[in-house]
């Protein structure tokens, strides 16, 4: 099947999802008791309630609505005493909009009713299903919307280690063509960490974004004076946010606090993004060795820095 056929098929799936989701939202809105507002009007009220001093152009841009339609809706809101207009200090041709006390009092029950309906919908799902739904929505929002730069670092939870093995094996197979030897190596490193973990000398960080694991790194004990950084990883969907640099910084901070005097790591020359992070963090290349591993001819590198 050609790439064009695949694209047409995927476009049909997206359109089907749009129809399904629109029906779901419509069903929820039908249950907003005694509401005399359309779903779009409630969306406009929501924007005005949460972002004061918007202009009509702002609303058109944020919600993707026709300017003429928005103008009619806002005039209706004015007649009902829901909004007031004030001249924009930056553009005399535009007016800033804000809800009146009556507007806020009108919006409040609508917002509460909408919240209750969504809560009722979620209650039909198990805790795991709710989490899967939220994560899927986050992925759609991330892919179709603006990039969200927020993330958190946390300790590993049950299941994270299996994810690390799986995700890194998949990624390095896709990006570098490495075979299952690499997956075996990751599994061995992770298994040893879990079996021999000593919190005084070792640590793992998990980077999480919108409920999804997007990165990880380990510090393990090489010897009494030396910490070893292992398995630095950042998912492609989260690159460019500084996660890799932050993970390395956390490793260095932990190693100093633990009393190590130096940190070392082993990598391969083809991993150029990781090498740049190590260089910026003060690591220096101390050894290079050609080797054949993971189905490829590679150049292994040892990097080190004093703490």
pLDDT at 53 (0 to 100): 77
Query: Is-contact 67 59, C-beta < 8 A?
Result: no
- Say yes or no: 129 and 225 in one domain: no
Say which residues have a Cβ less than 8 Å from residue 149's Cβ, sequence separation at least 6: 241
pLDDT digits (tens, 9 = 90+) for 150-189: 788 899 999 999 999 999 999 999 999 999 999 999 999 9
- Say yes or no: 206 and 255 in one domain: yes
- Say yes or no: 29 and 121 in one domain: yes
pLDDT at 10 (0 to 100): 84
Q: What is the largest CA-CA distance in the chain?
A: 78
pLDDT at 185 (0 to 100): 96
pLDDT at 127 (0 to 100): 79
The CATH number that applies at residue 104 is: 1.10.10.10
pLDDT band at 146 (very low <50, low <70, confident <90, very high): low
Is the pLDDT assigned to residue 304 strictly greater than 90? yes
The radius of gyration computed from the CA coordinates of the chain, to the nearest angstrom, equals 27
CA separation, residue 76 to residues 32, 70, 81, 148 (Å):
20, 10, 9, 35
- Say yes or no: 165 and 131 in one domain: no
Summary mean pLDDT of the chain: 87
The CATH number that applies at residue 269 is: 3.40.630.30
The boundaries of the domain holding residue 43 are 3-144
Other Cβ atoms closer than 10 A to 73: 20
Choose the final residue of a domain: 125, 144, 163: 144
The structural domain count of the chain equals: 2
Choose the final residue of a domain: 117, 144, 171: 144
- Say yes or no: 225 and 87 in one domain: no
- Say yes or no: 161 and 66 in one domain: no
Choose the final residue of a domain: 144, 168, 196: 144
pLDDT digits (tens, 9 = 90+) for 42-77: 888 888 888 767 888 888 887 888 889 989 999 999
- Say yes or no: 107 and 244 in one domain: no
- Say yes or no: 297 and 172 in one domain: yes
pLDDT digits (tens, 9 = 90+) for 180-234: 999 999 999 999 999 999 999 999 999 998 778 999 999 999 999 999 999 999 9
- Say yes or no: 244 and 162 in one domain: yes
- Say yes or no: 113 and 212 in one domain: no
pLDDT digits (tens, 9 = 90+) for 69-96: 989 999 999 999 999 988 877 667 778 8
pLDDT digits (tens, 9 = 90+) for 239-277: 888 899 999 999 999 999 999 999 999 999 999 999 999
pLDDT band at 296 (very low <50, low <70, confident <90, very high): very high
pLDDT at 303 (0 to 100): 97
Comparing CA positions, the residue from 188, 183, 184, 162 lying closest to residue 173 is 183
Tell me what the mean pLDDT of segment 108-130 comes to. Answer: 83
pLDDT at 241 (0 to 100): 85
Q: How far apart are CA 2 and CA 13, in angstroms?
A: 17
- Say yes or no: 160 and 287 in one domain: yes
Is the pLDDT assigned to residue 111 strictly greater than 60? yes
- Say yes or no: 21 and 44 in one domain: yes
């Amino acid at each position: 099947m050609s790439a064009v056929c695949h694209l047409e098929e995927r476009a049909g799936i997206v359109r089907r999802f749009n129809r399904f989701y629109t029906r779901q939202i419509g069903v929820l809105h039908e249950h907003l008791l005694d509401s005399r507002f359309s779903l779009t009007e409630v969306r406009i009220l929501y924007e005005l309630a949460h972002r004061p001093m918007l202009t009509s152009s702002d609303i058109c841009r944020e919600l993707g609505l026709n300017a003429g339609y928005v103008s009619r809706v806002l005039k209706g809101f004015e007649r009902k005493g829901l909004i007031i207009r004030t001249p924009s200090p930056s553009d005399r041709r535009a007016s800033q909009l804000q809800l009146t006390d009556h507007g806020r009092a009108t919006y409040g029950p609508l917002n509460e009713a909408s919240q209750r309906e969504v809560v009722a919908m979620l209650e039909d799902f198990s805790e795991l299903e709710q989490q899967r739904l939220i994560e899927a929505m986050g992925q759609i929002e991330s892919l179709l919307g603006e990039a969200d730069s927020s993330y958190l670092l946390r300790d590993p939870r049950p299941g994270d280690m299996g994810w690390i093995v799986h995700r890194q094996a998949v990624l390095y197979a896709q990006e570098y063509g490495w075979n299952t030897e690499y997956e075996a190596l990751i599994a061995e490193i992770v298994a040893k960490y879990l079996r021999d973990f000593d919190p005084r000398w070792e640590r793992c960080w998990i980077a999480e974004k919108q409920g999804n694991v997007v990165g990880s790194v380990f510090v393990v004990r090489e010897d009494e004076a030396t910490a070893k950084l292992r398995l630095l990883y950042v998912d492609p969907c989260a690159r460019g946010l500084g996660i890799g640099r932050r993970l390395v910084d956390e490793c260095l901070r932990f190693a100093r606090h633990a009393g190590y005097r130096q940190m070392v790591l082993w990598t391969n020359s083809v991993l150029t993004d990781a090498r740049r992070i190590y260089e910026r963090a003060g690591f220096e290349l101390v050894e290079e060795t050609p080797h054949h591993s993971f189905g490829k001819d590679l150049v292994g590198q040892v990097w080190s820095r004093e703490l």
